[in-house]
Amino acid sequence: MPKRKPNLILFGIDSLRRDHMSLHGYHRLTTPHIAEYAKGGVVFENLFSPSIPTTPAYASMFTGMDCFGTDVVALRHQGGLGGHVKTLAEVLGEHGYNTTCVGFSGNPSARGFQTYLDFAGWGSWEEGRSPKAENLNAVAIPELRRLAKEDAPFFLFLRHMDPHSPYLPPRPFERMFYAGDEFDPKNTSLEPVYAFKPFADYFRSWFPPGCTDKDYIIAQYDGAIAYMDAAIANLFTAIEALGIEEETLVVINSDHGETLHDHDCYYDHHGLYECTLIVPLIFRFPGRVPAGKRVADICHMKDVTPTILELLGIRTRIKFDGRSLAPLMHGQPRVMEPEMYLTEATWMRKHGWRTPEWKLIRALEPDFHFKPEVELYNLLKDPDELHNVADEEPAIVAMLTERMNAHIARREKQTGRRNPIFTNLNWHGHGGPFTSSQQAYDTLHIGSPKTAQQLQARDAGARRTLKELQTQRGARKL
């Protein structure tokens, strides 16, 4: 009997900032279990997710393509994923895999799984502290056990909703990194947050009533990471207990980072800044991936699927935009792509060009933060991107714009399609492009966690099987 193909477990940890992981040197001990687990594999220290947020990022992760290849740039992508691309779930399904997606039904980028399971992954202050990761475990661990008993190999994708907002980690994680007074009337650090009308109602739905301290909110984000890390250890233990470690590739990734109190993009994931673009990536596969290795080379989200397929020993005729990272794992040279094209269409429609030294951001519509049309940052002198030098360096702006436009023209010619950032004009769901920042500010609004959830996924009720609904009911009883 031929040996069964390896299994794949892919953790997609939504909104996880690489620089808030103790695995990557953060001063708070947020990810001790992931760090310990990562010692058995390879950690990539500079993985970029160039097209944010969720929908385009996962489209790239699951297809091995850039935004020109996926034709996806917007959170609210119109229609399904194009038929010109094949997802990782579809490829593995064709090779005899059982495929299950937990926590991501309804999103266009999650196409191709045989089974979709959901869990309670949002919450509000009124509902109380949110055990999101435990809710995921209650669904995922039984499904992992079921898949492990089958004769076929499996692909299990788990979309963690910690530390995605609302940041409501349960005790003791809510005060793990905070010992102050979050209601101090002398603290005014949250005043600009409450004054930002597009998001103010959403924040009030999960901030403690009367909270004044931004550091408390940031501590909640970090607490949500630590809570997720503790809960994910249960999944690591389950893999070991099932005796499938030696035959399972485990990948830990994130779709994008998070802006906390950075750049006025409060507690969300828009803005083409480093905190949003750089995400974690870990591969662990005993005997096939070396242990205890860290790779500093610049890599891209489009590299994830080609790497997975190579490690699983699956060949396809797909011409990926990305390239396998397997050579880097074994110390072999690989030509880097140090420059990259950036896009976002979440709450703002922008694109840009990043080199190791410079970051250019150009607005395609006026944004609701009233930011300048052109931003330029020297990443070597100003790694936190605090000083826009576009007016001081017009020649650099011109040079980077020319390189960006040349890349766009080249990729449009290669794909035979218009750059999707130019064609997704209803990215915000309110008609055509905004003509002023004030119009954007007055129009865009997120009022509740339910609204936020609806922005990321359509109603998937019609797609859920009776078995899936029963699983969810059982999870709610736990």
Quick one: pLDDT at residue 61?
98
pLDDT digits (tens, 9 = 90+) for 22-33: 999 999 999 999
Kindly indicate the confidence band of residue 406, based on its pLDDT and cuts at 50, 70 and 90.
very high
Say how many C-beta atoms besides its own lie within 10 A of residue 313's C-beta: 10
Task: Identify each DSSP E strand in 134-228 by its residue range.
Answer: 154-160
pLDDT of residue 15 exceeding 70, the answer is yes
The CA distance from 148 to 242, in Å, is 7
User: What's the distance, CA 291 to chain centroid?
Assistant: 25
Kindly indicate the confidence band of residue 475, based on its pLDDT and cuts at 50, 70 and 90.
very low
The mean-pLDDT minimum among 39-53, 101-115, 171-185, 454-468 falls in 454-468
Verify cis geometry, omega within 30 degrees of 0, for the bond prior to 372.
no
Classify residue 385 by burial, with Cβ atoms within 10 Å: 0-12, 13-18, 19+: buried
User: How confident is the model over 61-86, as a mean pLDDT?
Assistant: 96
Quick one: pLDDT at residue 457?
55
3-state secondary structure 415-476: HCCCCHHHHCCCCCCCCCCCCCHHHHHHHCCCCCHHHHHHHHCCCCHHHCCHHHHHHHHHHH
Q: What is the mean pLDDT of the chain?
A: 93
pLDDT of residue 471 exceeding 60, the answer is no
The mean-pLDDT minimum among 123-132, 161-170, 374-383 falls in 123-132
Q: Judge whether 333 and 327 are in contact, CB under 8 Å.
A: yes
Quick one: pLDDT at residue 461?
39
pLDDT of residue 21 exceeding 90, the answer is yes
pLDDT of residue 449 exceeding 90, the answer is no
pLDDT of residue 138 exceeding 90, the answer is yes
Task: Give me the residues paired with residue 117 across strands.
Answer: 102
Quick one: pLDDT at residue 433?
94
pLDDT digits (tens, 9 = 90+) for 366-391: 999 999 999 999 999 999 999 999 99
User: How confident is the model over 356-364, as a mean pLDDT?
Assistant: 98
Q: What structural domains does the chain harbor?
A: 7-337+466-477 (3.40.720.10), 341-443 (3.30.1120.10)
Three-state DSSP state, 444: coil
Per-residue tokens: 130: 């949110």
pLDDT of residue 464 exceeding 70, the answer is no
**Sheet strand arrangement including 374-378:** 51-52, 340-345, 349-354, 358-363, 374-378
User: How confident is the model over 326-331, as a mean pLDDT?
Assistant: 95
pTM of the full structure: 0.93
Quick one: pLDDT at residue 456?
61
pLDDT digits (tens, 9 = 90+) for 210-269: 999 999 999 999 999 999 999 999 999 999 999 999 999 999 999 999 999 999 999 999
Kindly indicate the confidence band of residue 472, based on its pLDDT and cuts at 50, 70 and 90.
very low
Of 334 and 340, the one with more pLDDT: 340
